[in-house]
């Protein structure tokens, strides 16, 4: 990782690193998040360097809380930064909508990392609409270098308007890399004071009605700032105009020639007069943007209001796709209107049957053991496996197939209650420790309150694994000069009155299977806590004690039970033998635990 606290110089930075550098240069004093790809690296970096940067940073228990703590900071005069993945903003939307009414006293940026093509997500929603829904100003960078500089400008605009600003990125910005030059750093203000103002900060109906008018006035001012902003600029020349924002600008700039480009960085409110003027002088206009026709529809409206009859091409005309992220290839769709670079004929993928390579649970992943136990205990019982967001989502693949229903963080446990109420199927909910603290407690309370008979399995691997091993309330915090105790999941669950609570070691598949059977037989809400640290996290923190599994081929009869029930990537069937791969095997012993003949020995 580049040293983001350096004075001057240049570095090849990931978009997320560039954004952190932007925060440092802008003197941000407060940051909060709930980890989510493609924004996660920002948190991992801040965990390491926020103290040295003079900034307070926290992993909040969920995005809503992250929004609230950052709102308090900005309301107390400290520049704050809250960041999350796109679906996280759904969770945080409630405080955001009214925070727009209150406004803020220091700059506040809300970073939404959208994920076109859903590389690591359950949908590809376009969060630009949140800016028009909440009436908040919005900016969208196109490259890492621009993102770094845009952060400072975004704080300036946010402060001048007294409004939080939506800083919208996408995967190919967050996870792109480019050369970034370091600029001077503004002094950090990390402590503030909350000066009370009930009419501003307490949106009871009487004040909310007034604050709505104030918000609309600020929005009109934002419109003028957008008209004048250097983040919206024209370049190139030609009869055809292209209106573009985000990473699509990089594709257009490099692979389209002979067109006049209006590049938009300040994308809500749009610079309407500027757009009208731009379009009026063109023979035709193309709007290039990923996902929804957010700009395109507004351009069409602006044309309508200004009596402009220049044709506008894009998604509405079928020239550009609405689904999935863009790449230079999508420009072929507009090659009849404007000059697009010619790309060579791609080679054919040879006609060979290639094995699939989906992402998979790691060798020694404790989730494998719990899923094996669940399958064994459930047998032929008609169940609905409700799953959730995390590594354990990968249980959807065979041989486990332990995910029948996934919608959102914490959603599996909520849905399990519904399945119990509406079907005669047994409802099982799997959820990770971090997800449990994020959104798992309310559905568990709901199941108790409404008498849903569910089995909830909390896969406590002592970390937020999928996003790169961030701490969570179940691990306690130990960075940035703050140390807190871990919250005991078992005590919490017992404390709210769950009648069946058992903790198991998932590496002991036999024992876990028995506990699972007991839970299925229990008439009420049953909670199983699968306790075992993520080996990858242990490896990172150099705490992993690596053992080794050995198969005695004189005892093994090649029944394949280990392969079929655990499917560990470290177990191979090769040359008529089952043999563990010594490089991948950590000696967890799950395979030994399921072997009916005791042919596998674990050496530690």
Partner 1 sequence: MKYTVQIVGVGGQGVLLASMVLGNAAMDMGFDVAMSEVHGMAQRGGSVLSTVRFGDGVVSPLEAAGSADMIMGFEPVETCRNLSLGNRDTVVLMNMDPVLPSMVAAGFEEYPSLDLLKERVSSENPNTITIDATDIAVKAGKAVAANAVMIGAVGAVKGFPIPKDVLLKALMSQVPEKFRELNAKAFEMGYSAIA
Interface residue list for partner 1 (CB under 8 A): 10, 12, 14, 37-38, 40-41, 119-120, 143, 172, 175-179, 247, 250-251, 253-255, 327-329, 341, 343-362, 391, 394, 398-399, 466-467, 560, 563-564, 567-573, 581, 583
Nearer to partner 1, 21 or 452 (CB): 21
Looking at residue 596, the DSSP 8-state letter turns out to be T
Please list the alpha-helical segments (H only) found in 470-569: 489-495, 509-521, 535-540, 561-565
Nearest to 528 by CA among 417, 371, 418: 371
Those residues whose C-beta lies under 8 Å from the C-beta of residue 468, and which sit 6 or more positions away, are 35, 40, 41, 44
Residue tagged 């630009």 (tokens): 128
Minimum CB separation from partner 1 for residue 327, in Å? Answer: 4
Those residues whose C-beta lies under 8 Å from the C-beta of residue 357, and which sit 6 or more positions away, are none
Omega into 269 within 30° of 0, i.e. cis? yes
Bridge-based pairing state of the strands 454-460 and 526-531:
parallel
Minimum CB separation from partner 1 for residue 491, in Å? Answer: 31
Minimum CB separation from partner 1 for residue 467, in Å? Answer: 7
Minimum CB separation from partner 1 for residue 473, in Å? Answer: 23
Nearer to partner 1, 117 or 223 (CB): 117
Rounded distance between C-alpha atoms, residue 543 and residue 99, angstroms: 43
Rounded distance between C-alpha atoms, residue 101 and residue 95, angstroms: 10
Q: How many CB atoms lie within 10 A of CB 61?
A: 17
Minimum CB separation from partner 1 for residue 32, in Å? Answer: 21
Nearer to partner 1, 99 or 365 (CB): 365
Rounded distance between C-alpha atoms, residue 599 and residue 579, angstroms: 11
Those residues whose C-beta lies under 8 Å from the C-beta of residue 208, and which sit 6 or more positions away, are 98, 101
Largest CA distance in the chain: 86
Nearer to partner 1, 179 or 228 (CB): 179
Please list the alpha-helical segments (H only) found in 229-333: 248-255, 272-280, 294-305
- Taking the alpha carbons of 582, 587, 592, 598 in that order, is the dihedral positive or negative? positive
Minimum CB separation from partner 1 for residue 560, in Å? Answer: 7
Give the phi and the psi of residue 319 in degrees, each rounded to 5: -80, -25
Q: Cβ distance 55 to 82 under 8 Å?
A: no
**Paired tokens of 38:** 């493609």
Nearer to partner 1, 131 or 143 (CB): 143
Nearer to partner 1, 514 or 579 (CB): 579
Minimum CB separation from partner 1 for residue 2, in Å? Answer: 10
Nearer to partner 1, 311 or 399 (CB): 399
Minimum CB separation from partner 1 for residue 268, in Å? Answer: 24
Nearer to partner 1, 187 or 349 (CB): 349
Nearer to partner 1, 400 or 500 (CB): 400
Nearer to partner 1, 38 or 440 (CB): 38
Minimum CB separation from partner 1 for residue 172, in Å? Answer: 6
Those residues whose C-beta lies under 8 Å from the C-beta of residue 324, and which sit 6 or more positions away, are 116, 117, 124
Minimum CB separation from partner 1 for residue 262, in Å? Answer: 17
Looking at residue 332, the DSSP 8-state letter turns out to be G
Nearer to partner 1, 204 or 347 (CB): 347
Minimum CB separation from partner 1 for residue 477, in Å? Answer: 23
Element of type H or E holding 22: helix 15-26
Nearer to partner 1, 354 or 545 (CB): 354
Rounded distance between C-alpha atoms, residue 176 and residue 171, angstroms: 8
Rounded distance between C-alpha atoms, residue 282 and residue 547, angstroms: 69
Minimum CB separation from partner 1 for residue 513, in Å? Answer: 20
Nearer to partner 1, 1 or 206 (CB): 1
**Planar angle of CA 55, 135, 95, nearest 5 degrees:** 55
Rounded distance between C-alpha atoms, residue 494 and residue 448, angstroms: 12
Rounded distance between C-alpha atoms, residue 349 and residue 66, angstroms: 46
Nearer to partner 1, 560 or 598 (CB): 560
Find residue 551's DSSP bridge partners.
Answer: 600
Rounded distance between C-alpha atoms, residue 568 and residue 410, angstroms: 27
**Paired tokens of 233:** 């600029």
Minimum CB separation from partner 1 for residue 532, in Å? Answer: 17
Nearest to 83 by CA among 28, 129, 135, 124: 28
Minimum CB separation from partner 1 for residue 506, in Å? Answer: 18
Rounded distance between C-alpha atoms, residue 146 and residue 18, angstroms: 9
């Amino acid at each position: 990782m580049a040293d983001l606290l350096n004075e001057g110089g240049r570095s090849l930075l990931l978009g997320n690193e560039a954004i952190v550098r932007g925060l440092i240069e802008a003197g941000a004093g407060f940051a909060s998040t709930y980890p989510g790809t493609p924004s996660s690296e920002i948190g991992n970096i801040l965990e390491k360097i926020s103290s040295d940067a003079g900034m307070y940073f926290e992993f909040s228990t969920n995005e809503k809380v992250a929004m609230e703590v950052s709102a308090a900071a900005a309301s107390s005069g400290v520049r704050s930064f809250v960041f999350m993945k796109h679906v996280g903003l759904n969770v945080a939307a409630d405080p955001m909508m009214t925070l727009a009414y209150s406004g803020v006293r220091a700059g506040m940026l809300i970073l939404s990392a959208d994920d076109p093509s859903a590389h690591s997500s359950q949908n590809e929603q376009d969060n630009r609409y949140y800016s028009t829904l909440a009436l908040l100003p919005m900016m969208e960078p196109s490259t890492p270098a621009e993102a770094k500089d845009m952060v400072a400008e975004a704080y300036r605009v946010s402060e001048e308007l007294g409004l939080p600003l939506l800083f919208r990125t996408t995967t190919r910005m967050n996870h792109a890399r480019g050369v970034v030059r370091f600029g001077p750093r503004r002094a950090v203000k990390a402590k503030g004071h909350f000066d009370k103002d009930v009419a501003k900060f307490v949106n009871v109906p009487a004040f909310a009605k007034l604050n709505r008018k104030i918000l609309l006035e600020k929005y009109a001012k934002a419109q003028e700032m957008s008209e004048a902003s250097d983040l919206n600029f024209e370049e190139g020349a030609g009869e055809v105009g292209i209106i573009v924002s985000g990473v699509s600008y990089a594709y257009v700039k490099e692979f389209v020639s002979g067109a006049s480009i209006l590049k938009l960085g300040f994308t809500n409110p749009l610079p309407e007069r500027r757009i009208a003027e731009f379009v009026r002088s063109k023979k035709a206009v193309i709007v290039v943007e990923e996902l929804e026709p957010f700009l395109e529809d507004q351009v069409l409206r602006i044309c309508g209001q200004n009596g402009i009859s220049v044709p506008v091409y894009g998604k509405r005309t079928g020239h550009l796709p609405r689904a999935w992220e863009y790449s230079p290839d999508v420009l072929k769709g507009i090659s009849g209107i404007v000059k697009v670079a010619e790309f060579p004929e791609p080679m054919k993928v040879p006609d060979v049957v290639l094995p699939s390579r989906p992402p998979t649970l790691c060798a020694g992943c404790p989730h494998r053991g719990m899923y094996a136990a669940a399958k064994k205990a459930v047998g032929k019982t008609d169940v609905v496996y409700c799953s959730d967001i995390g590594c354990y989502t990968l249980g959807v693949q065979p041989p486990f197939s332990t995910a029948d229903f996934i919608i959102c963080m914490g959603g599996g446990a909520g849905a399990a209650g519904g399945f119990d109420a509406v079907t005669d199927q047994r409802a099982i909910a799997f959820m990770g420790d971090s997800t449990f603290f994020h959104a798992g407690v309310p559905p568990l309370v709901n199941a108790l309150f409404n008498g849903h008979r569910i089995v909830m399995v909390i896969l406590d691997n002592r970390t937020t694994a999928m996003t790169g091993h961030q701490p969570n309330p179940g691990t306690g915090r130990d960075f940035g000069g703050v140390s807190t105790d871990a919250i005991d999941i078992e005590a919490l669950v017992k404390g709210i009155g769950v009648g069946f609570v058992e903790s198991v070691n998932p590496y002991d598949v036999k024992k876990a299977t028995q506990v699972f059977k007991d839970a299925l037989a229990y008439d009420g809400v049953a909670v199983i806590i699968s306790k075992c640290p993520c080996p990858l996290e242990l490896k990172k923190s150099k705490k992993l004690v690596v053992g080794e599994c050995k198969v005695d081929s004189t005892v093994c009869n090649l029944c394949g039970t280990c392969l079929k029930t655990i499917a560990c990537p470290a177990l191979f069937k090769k040359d008529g033998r089952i043999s563990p791969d010594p490089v991948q095997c950590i000696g967890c012993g799950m395979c030994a635990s399921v072997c009916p003949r005791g042919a596998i020995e674990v050496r530690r």
